[in-house]
Amino acid sequence: MKATTLALVGATGGAGTTRTAVELAAIGARDGSEVAVVDAAFTTQGLSEYVSGRIDPDLTTLLTDEPETSLSTAAYPIAGSEAARSEGVGKTAGDAAEPTLPGRVDAVPARAPFERLARAKTAEAARTLERRIDEAATAYDAVVVDAAPLGSNEAVAAATCVDRAVAVRPATAHGRDATQRLRGRMADVGGGIDATLAVDRAATDGREGAGEAGGETVEIPATTPSISAAPTAATGGGPYVRAMTAAYEAAFDASTGIEFSDSGLVDRFRR
């Protein structure tokens, strides 16, 4: 069965899960798909930084105060897609560097005060989150869920209700060890890790490539960490974009129509 929902689960804090989720979604939109990125990392609320303008309502509102409201009310286009440009999101129309994607990338972010955030982290809200992810799957071609390292109700719900769960780790020995611990935690809650994305954070000490047992690993080269530079994968065809394309195709059982000057290089990222 073709996968529709994917959770990116951080093996450690700061592994780059949010940025990776946005970039994977951009690959889907570059291929013409409509992709949602759903926030399940409520503590950091990092996905909201990729949205321009006011966020009201946010995802936590739909999990607590407005459980019957459509998910679409908390979906905001990320700059780069055709939808974003038509809604005035992102750089000015005269900026030639602004990419235009044939598909759509919508973020469903969390941006909430502490009181509502606390209510959104309850077990009841986590069950509602599962339903919201299912709702997104009916409205979009693909859904990428940004999940924090397991340790909260929302992270567990996100990691276990999707078609596939992928660990995101730093491309270091520490990241590899953290992934093994994550596999154990996933097993404890009845889930599993299907694959791993090893993200190079650039010039990190103790860098070590793929090698953990169980599942496949795609190595993601370093890219500029600036949020304003995202999505990098919207254009170009360097090693980072090629790796993201390989990761998207593997995660969603897809064959994108994205062409590179040497298509064989993409195949080298597949394990």
Judged by average pLDDT, the poorest of 3-12, 53-62, 63-72, 205-214 is 205-214
CA distance 39 to 108: 6
Domain count along the chain: 1
Q: Check residue 243 and give its pLDDT.
A: 95
Dist. CA 131–CA 8, nearest whole Å: 18
Strand partners, 198: 169, 219
Residue 193: is its pLDDT beyond 70?
yes
The whole domain housing 20 covers 5-267
Q: What percent of the chain has pLDDT over 90?
A: 74
* 270 has a pLDDT exceeding 60: no
Q: What pLDDT does residue 96 have?
A: 40
Q: How open is the CA angle 250-252-253, to the nearest 5 degrees?
A: 65
Amino acid at 85: R
Residue of higher predicted confidence among 146 and 271 = 146
- For the ranges 93-97, 103-107, 178-182, 258-262, the lowest mean pLDDT is seen at 93-97
Helix (H) or strand (E) holding 35: strand 34-40
pLDDT > 60? residue 114: yes
CATH number of residue 226's parent domain: 3.40.50.300
Residue 129 pLDDT greater than 60, yes or no: yes
| Model confidence band, residue 98 (pLDDT cutoffs 50, 70, 90) | low
Mean pLDDT of all residues in the chain?
87
- pLDDT at residue number 169: 97
pLDDT tens digits for range 137-183: 999 999 999 999 999 999 999 999 999 999 999 999 999 999 999 99
- Mean pLDDT score, 187-195: 96
For position 261, what pLDDT does the model report? 74
Residue predicted with more confidence, 190 or 83: 190
Q: How many CA atoms lie within 13 A of 239 on its CB side?
A: 10
Residue with the bigger pLDDT between 259 and 177: it is: 177
Kindly write down the DSSP assignment for every residue of 68-87, as one continuous string. Answer: TS-GGGG-EEPBTBHHHHHT
- Give the confidence band of 87 by pLDDT, cuts at 50, 70, 90: low
Whole-number pLDDT of residue 201: 79
pLDDT of residue 92: 33
Residue 205, pLDDT > 50, answer: no
Output the pLDDT for position 262.
62
